[in-house]
């Protein structure tokens, strides 16, 4: 059992008065974030000076005293302060190579506001935010763990005008009982994932199923007059289709990742560079639709929660071109070749199943070597350069 921070997400149905207060809060959060980004950018470009969170916080206090920004005092000060913390985190991610340079927030994108413990009241299973007289109408789809107290809540409004609340709390998550079963997973496009035990899980292709419907809604949206109410209605229809696709994809990934975590002690996957793979113009749409990164991310934190092992093998390991029986490595294996015969031992391989078995083998080798980068056998081509395994 380990204590982990865990967020529970629920649908919220605010009243008209609460919607107005949330809209004002979202606007203030967005303005403060954009103001802080402009201050940090100008200070560095003009004076070669880096502003910290404390510098921006004191500057924000002075900003609220100005007549032009007096309306910032009409909402809770906590969400605006948290927006500066998020900006500071965004710059930290940029400097450490985990993200791009922060960009300005837009009104038409998702809006959110974070409330820490001093800005909301938790009583008898109800949450009342600061500056609000009534608790939020939350659709409790599942109960919160008994004895836990939320440390912060984040209210979000998506482009489809839906409201959600994420409740962050510390929870003692019990590890699952250890088992001996291990599995290798080869991610693909024809099938979403192929397991080393022979199970094939098909690709639902959620975006592909709603693509024509989305294109029709987008055409109607483009023909509406800018600034009109009909254009807003058409934009909302487009946003709802995108939300439907994203919700179904997320639900599928959660159910599959949870099942794999419960059924296996060790799961081995390949480290895919999705950012580089989507540069392929012919496959970029299909790669974006399948959602590999979301699936692997869910496996990663769920394995940490429940005491399982997730092993990511080397990106350059030739899992598809390597014969699982004898270890022979082909010089090349085109994407359209789904079955191939090993020239050394004569075994006929299914491309994806062979890759899954190789991923499991090298993943267990890495795990037994205490996390060291182990690459059994030769993994270089005749030219002496490592060659990446390309999968559809």
Catalytic residues: 186, 270, 352
**Maximum Cα–Cα distance across the chain:** 81
DSSP-H helix ranges across 96-228: 206-209, 211-223
Q: Which two tokens stand for residue 218?
A: 């987008």
Q: How far apart are CA 92 and CA 98, in angstroms?
A: 8
Nearest CA to 269 out of 182, 161, 345 is that of 182
Nearest CA to 157 out of 120, 85, 109 is that of 109
Nearest CA to 40 out of 28, 30, 54 is that of 54
Helices (H) then strands (E): counts for the chain:
10, 14
Please check whether residue 229 is in contact with residue 142, taking contact to mean a CB–CB distance below 8 angstroms.
no
Say how many CA atoms lie within 13 Å of 265 toward its Cβ: 8
Centroid of chain to Cα 51: 29
Nearest CA to 305 out of 317, 313, 297 is that of 297
Strands 200-202 and 191-195: antiparallel
Start-to-end CA distance of the chain, whole Å, equals 39
Q: How far apart are CA 329 and CA 121, in angstroms?
A: 62
Q: How far apart are CA 88 and CA 36, in angstroms?
A: 9
Nearest CA to 183 out of 99, 261, 284 is that of 261
CA angle 90, 91, 93 (to 5 degrees): 65
């Amino acid at each position: 059992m380990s204590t982990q921070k865990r967020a529970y997400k629920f649908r919220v149905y605010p009243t008209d008065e609460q919607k107005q207060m949330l809209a004002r809060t979202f606007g203030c959060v967005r303005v403060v974030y954009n103001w802080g980004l402009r201050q940090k950018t100008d200070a560095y470009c003009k004076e070669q000076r880096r502003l910290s969170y404390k510098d921006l916080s004191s500057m924000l206090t002075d900003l609220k005293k100005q007549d032009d920004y007096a309306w910032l005092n009409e909402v809770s000060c906590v969400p605006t302060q948290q927006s500066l913390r998020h900006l500071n985190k965004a710059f930290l991610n940029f400097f450490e190579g985990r993200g791009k340079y922060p960009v300005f927030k837009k009104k038409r994108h998702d809006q959110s506001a974070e409330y820490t413990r001093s800005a909301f009241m938790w009583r008898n299973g109800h949450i009342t935010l600061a500056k609000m007289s009534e608790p939020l109408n939350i659709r409790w789809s599942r109960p919160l763990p008994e004895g836990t107290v939320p440390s912060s809540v984040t209210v979000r409004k998506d482009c489809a005008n839906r409201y959600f609340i994420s409740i962050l709390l510390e929870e003692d998550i019990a590890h699952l009982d250890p088992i001996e079963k291990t599995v290798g997973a080869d991610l693909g496009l024809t099938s979403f994932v192929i397991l080393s035990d022979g199970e094939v899980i098909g690709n639902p292709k959620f975006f592909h199923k709603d693509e024509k419907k989305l294109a029709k809604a987008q055409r109607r949206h483009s023909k509406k007059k800018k600034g009109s109410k009909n254009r807003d209605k058409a934009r909302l229809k487009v946003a709802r289709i995108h939300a439907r696709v994203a919700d179904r994809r997320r639900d599928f990934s959660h159910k599959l990742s949870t099942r794999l975590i419960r059924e296996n002690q060790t799961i081995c996957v390949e480290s895919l560079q999705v950012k580089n793979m989507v540069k392929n113009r012919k496959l970029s749409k299909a790669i974006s639709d399948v959602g590999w990164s979301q699936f692997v991310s869910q496996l990663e934190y769920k394995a940490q929660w429940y005491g399982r092992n997730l092993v990511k093998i080397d990106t350059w390991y030739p899992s598809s071109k390597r014969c699982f029986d004898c270890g022979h490595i082909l010089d090349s294996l085109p994407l359209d070749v789904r079955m191939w015969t090993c020239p050394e031992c004569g075994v006929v391989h299914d491309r994806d199943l062979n890759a899954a078995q190789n991923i499991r083998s090298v993943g267990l080798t890495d795990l037994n070597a205490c996390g060291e980068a182990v690459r059994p056998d030769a993994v270089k081509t005749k030219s002496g350069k490592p060659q990446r395994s390309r999968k559809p």
